[in-house]
């Protein structure tokens, strides 16, 4: 179209500029291709060069970053983080923030393989896949800006990721923007590699006109815009312990919740147990839904269950299945480590008795982790509804179905309806019922979720826990744990 310049021309110009700078004898920082992805997707050298040129045209270099307007990235913030560490003249504002604070762990390309990465456990995050563990969004969704800001502000306890709360707010905002930049760039690179792999015409160059590249970039950008946050359900009234004035009743309510959570934690299947109330009244039978936490975290929460699994970053590199090989065909270190992969390493479940939670120790943080699991690791989202809960939900669903038929009689699916008409009616029915059923399902599940949270939070205060039985905990809603 008129007014649109070919990205090929832009690529050539960018590469030429880099050559000029390199020719001056200066050391030029470069983004490195994801050679694991290139090798797995059978991208030849000519195609690799084309992908590198496209990425340079779209995102610039570590010293001179830029991004397409549709990404919505703030170029001023990116420039604040890019380049060598120095003070800008004459303002004195800091530059090179990423290299100053982050590159030694996360690497210049955001690949999580910086100079110190091999010495750290867990390894630093590889931003290029767009996978993030500690966030407030649905499992497949990208994190919000606030999620990334919280990680930068608080750090990740139990890892080498420190708190940067002493940095000025503007610097932290710039670093978060640069992390988003590295993820979007890395995801675009992976998509281009997959396009090569999936092309029916092997060996041919990619289409690098504006429209073709925009189509590849669009879903990457969309995934970072308005990620869906988890709909947090507050504690039921009878579980808001800090609002129960009678200390005996408060302790009894907490003890009941912890007892239910214990059963969920230590069982894989639904069941029923007998609970003896504190007031000496007759024992009661309580149903629970097994959450199977014991499989990984062990029977007492020490993290000594399944300890031979791997996180998704490691599986992406080392798992034979992702290379199109049979599982028994092991990937040799000599194959992947020259491509930039770090040594294979097991992921060990959290020892919950230490009270150190990498994603935050607020009850709200545990809510996120249990509700959706943790993206990138074996920690799954868990169905926490009991048989009674599911029976109650079915009644709600049946009532919603009747309400739909009464309100929209013309949308009832008929046998003589065409396929597209049936699909349209079914979609509208599903949307109508979901608006009624989903919130009720969240309410039913939230009680069990808070039971499980209460048990996990109690583990450091039990015999063998880090804090010990002499400490007593109170819960300030979604606030921090406090002792008294």
DSSP states of 437-473 as a string? HHHHHHHHHHHHHHHHHHHHHHGGGSTTSSS-TT--E
Flag whether pLDDT at 89 surpasses 90.
no
Distances (CA, A) of 125 to 160, 161, 201, 259, 277: 11, 10, 35, 36, 46
Distances (CA, A) of 436 to 234, 385, 459: 18, 17, 36
Flag whether pLDDT at 3 surpasses 50.
no
Only one residue has tokens 């340079």, namely 56
45: which 2 tokens?
Answer: 């050298």
**Mean pLDDT for the stretch of residues 262-283:** 92
Q: Degrees (nearest 5) of the Cα angle 303, 287, 248?
A: 80
Using only the alpha carbons of the chain, give its radius of gyration: 26
pLDDT at 396: 95
Flag whether pLDDT at 11 surpasses 50.
no
pLDDT at 472: 61
**Mean pLDDT for the stretch of residues 416-424:** 87
407: which 2 tokens?
Answer: 């309100």
Residues 299-341 have pLDDT tens digits of 999 999 999 999 999 999 998 888 888 877 888 899 999 999 9
Flag whether pLDDT at 475 surpasses 50.
no
DSSP state of 87: E
Flag whether pLDDT at 264 surpasses 70.
yes
Query: Where is pLDDT greater, at 101 or 10?
Result: 101
Confidence category of residue 77, pLDDT binned at 50, 70, 90? very high
pLDDT at 391: 92
User: Does the predicted TM-score (pTM) go above 0.75?
Assistant: yes
């Amino acid at each position: 179209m008129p007014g649109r310049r070919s990205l090929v021309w832009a690529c050539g110009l960018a590469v030429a500029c880099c050559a000029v700078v390199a020719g001056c004898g200066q050391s030029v920082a470069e983004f490195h291709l994801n050679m694991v992805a290139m090798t797995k997707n059978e991208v030849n050298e000519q195609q690799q060069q084309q992908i590198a040129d496209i990425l340079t045209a779209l995102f610039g270099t570590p010293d001179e970053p830029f991004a397409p307007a549709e990404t919505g990235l703030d170029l001023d913030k990116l420039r604040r983080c890019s380049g060598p560490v120095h003070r800008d003249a004459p303002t004195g504002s800091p530059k090179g923030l990423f290299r100053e604070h982050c590159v030694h762990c996360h690497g210049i390309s955001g690949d999580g393989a910086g100079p110190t990465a091999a010495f750290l456990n867990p390894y630093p995050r590889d931003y290029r896949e767009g996978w993030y563990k500690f966030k407030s969004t649905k499992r497949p969704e990208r994190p919000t800006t606030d999620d990334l800001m919280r990680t930068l502000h608080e750090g990740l306890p139990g890892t080498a990721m420190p708190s940067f709360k002493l940095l000025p707010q503007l610097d932290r905002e710039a670093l978060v923007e640069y992390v988003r930049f590295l993820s979007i760039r890395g995801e675009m690179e992976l998509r281009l590699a997959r396009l090569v792999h999936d092309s029916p015409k092997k060996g041919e160059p990619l289409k690098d006109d504006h429209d073709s590249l925009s189509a590849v970039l669009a879903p990457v950008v969309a995934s970072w815009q308005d990620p869906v946050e988890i709909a947090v359900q507050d504690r039921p009234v009878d579980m808001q312990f800090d609002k129960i004035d009678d200390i005996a009743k408060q302790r009894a309510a907490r003890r009941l919740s912890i007892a239910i959570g214990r059963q969920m934690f230590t069982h894989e299947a639904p069941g029923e147990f007998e609970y003896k109330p504190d007031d000496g009244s007759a024992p009661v039978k309580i149903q629970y839904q097994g959450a199977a936490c014991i499989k990984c975290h062990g029977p007492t929460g020490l993290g000594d269950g399944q300890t031979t699994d791997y996180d998704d970053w490691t599986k992406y590199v080392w798992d034979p299945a992702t290379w199109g090989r049979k599982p028994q065909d092991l990937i040799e270190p000599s194959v992947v480590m020259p491509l930039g992969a770090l040594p294979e390493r097991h992921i060990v479940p959290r020892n919950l008795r230490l009270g150190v939670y990498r994603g935050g120790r607020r009850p709200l943080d545990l809510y996120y982790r249990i509700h959706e699991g943790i993206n990138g690791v074996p920690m799954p989202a868990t169905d926490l509804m009991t048989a009674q809960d599911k029976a109650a939900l079915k009644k709600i669903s049946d009532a919603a179905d009747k309400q739909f038929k009464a309100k929209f009689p013309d949308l009832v699916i008929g046998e003589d309806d065409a396929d597209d008409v049936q699909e349209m009616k079914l979609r509208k029915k599903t949307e109508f019922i979901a608006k009624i059923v989903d919130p009720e399902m969240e309410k039913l599940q939230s009680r069990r979720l808070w039971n499980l949270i209460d048990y996990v939070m109690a583990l450091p205060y039990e015999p063998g826990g880090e804090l010990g039985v002499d400490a007593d905990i109170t819960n300030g809603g979604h606030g921090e744990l406090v002792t008294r």
